[in-house]
Every structure is written in structure tokens, then in C-alpha cells.
Amino acid sequence: AAAFVAATLSCASHAQDFAGETIVFGGDLAYPPFEWLDGDEPVGFDIDLEDAIAATGGANPIHRLTNWPDAVRALESGDIDVLAMFRSEQREQSFLFTPPFHFVNHGIYARTEVENVTSLDELTGSRIAIEELSHAHQQLEADQFPAEFVLATNTLTALEAVAGGEAHYAVLAAPTSNYLI
């Protein structure tokens, strides 16, 4: 489940406290239909939602979209205030979350000539493209999943790793992967 996360955010319940303030929203530069850059302009579902949250309290939104690992690091360092991400027990140790606002599934992606799989267990020993610091990456690493990870900076580069033969499979958020494919 995706939720907004930030150490300073309680916009939903205290939006009036942000009147005239600037809220810096971070995000992934290649994560359609949720967020991406159209030229230099941030667009997508999350961008629209973030603008609406900021407008509710009279705050000024700034959107900084970058590669996913850099967005997570920017949240950790305080360079951004808010980031939409999947909620997990591991992440709850570092960040405060709002209630989830939409639910997204992950999928397993491969080239058509690669053997079809129906479960993660069948990926044992494979090369798996995965977005660095993504929910899937952190979960598979925490589970010590026996595979070689090909770390990508975003969903598109993970899919390109599969298409280019650098990885057998990719484990990625389904809506964005389907959109990009």
C-alpha cells in the first residue's frame, strides 16, 4: 500500500498549520502514471494529489523528481519533506506514514522467450532487476532471497535491464511497469 511519508507531514489533519509554508515533495522521475517529468514539468496522479494537499492548507508545493534511490536519500537527509512510497515495517522504523491512499501490486516481468514463472520461489538463482531502495528490493533483501540483484535507478531502467538481457526477470510495481511497457 502506498502512503505519503515524512517526518514533518501531518497535512491531512493539520493542513491549516502550513499556510504560507513551502512543502517539498520528492518523487521518482520515471514512475508513470503516478509521477514523472514531462519535459521539465512534474506530472501525474501523485503530483495532482500533492498539489491538492498543499492547496488545502495554503502551502506552496515544490516537486523534486529524481531517481528513486536519490529520492529516498533526500527524505532521509531532510532535503525533501514528503515522499509517496510503499509502507513496510522496516520503513516505519525511519519514517512516519499517513494512512495508505492507494494499493499497488508488484509483478514479475521477463522477456517472452524466458520461462514463465508463477511465484517468487521460482526466481531462486536468477538475475532479478529491481529498483534500488524500492519496497520490493528492501523486502527481498530482508528475506535474504537467493538471487542476484541487478539494481536499477528507476522502473524504466529495470525493465531495460530485462529487455537487454542483463537480468532474467524484474520485480516491479505493476501499474508503472505496465504503463511503461
CA distance 56 to 15: 6
Q: In the chain, count of helices (H) and strands (E)?
A: 7, 11
CA distance 115 to 156: 22
CA distance 34 to 45: 5
Name the amino acid, one letter, at 38: D
Q: Tell me the mean pLDDT in the region 38-53.
A: 94
Of the pLDDT bands very low, low, confident and very high (cuts 50, 70, 90), residue 98 is confident
Report the alpha-carbon angle 29-152-115, nearest 5. Answer: 120
120, 18 Cβ separation under 8 angstroms: no
Q: For residue range 139-148, what is the model confidence (pLDDT) as tens digits?
A: 999 999 999 9
C-alpha cell at 79: 532535503
What is the predicted pLDDT for the residue at 99?
A: 83
What is the predicted pLDDT for the residue at 89?
A: 87
DSSP 53-122: HHHHTT-EEEEEEE-HHHHHHHHHHTS-SEEEEE--HHHHTT--BPPP-B---EEEEE-TTSPP-SSGGG
11-20, 37-46, 99-108, 153-162, range with the lowest pLDDT: 11-20
What is the predicted pLDDT for the residue at 4?
A: 52
CA distance 179 to 32: 7
Q: Specify the pTM.
A: 0.71
Measured in residues, the chain has a length of 181
Of the pLDDT bands very low, low, confident and very high (cuts 50, 70, 90), residue 100 is confident
Q: Is 136 helix (H, G, I), strand (E, B) or coil?
A: helix
What is the predicted pLDDT for the residue at 7?
A: 37
Residue 2: CB partners within 8 Å, gap ≥ 6? Answer: 84, 85, 86, 87, 100, 101, 102, 103, 104
Taking alpha carbons only, the member of 46, 140, 128, 132 closest to residue 90 is 140
Of the pLDDT bands very low, low, confident and very high (cuts 50, 70, 90), residue 102 is confident
What is the predicted pLDDT for the residue at 108?
A: 94
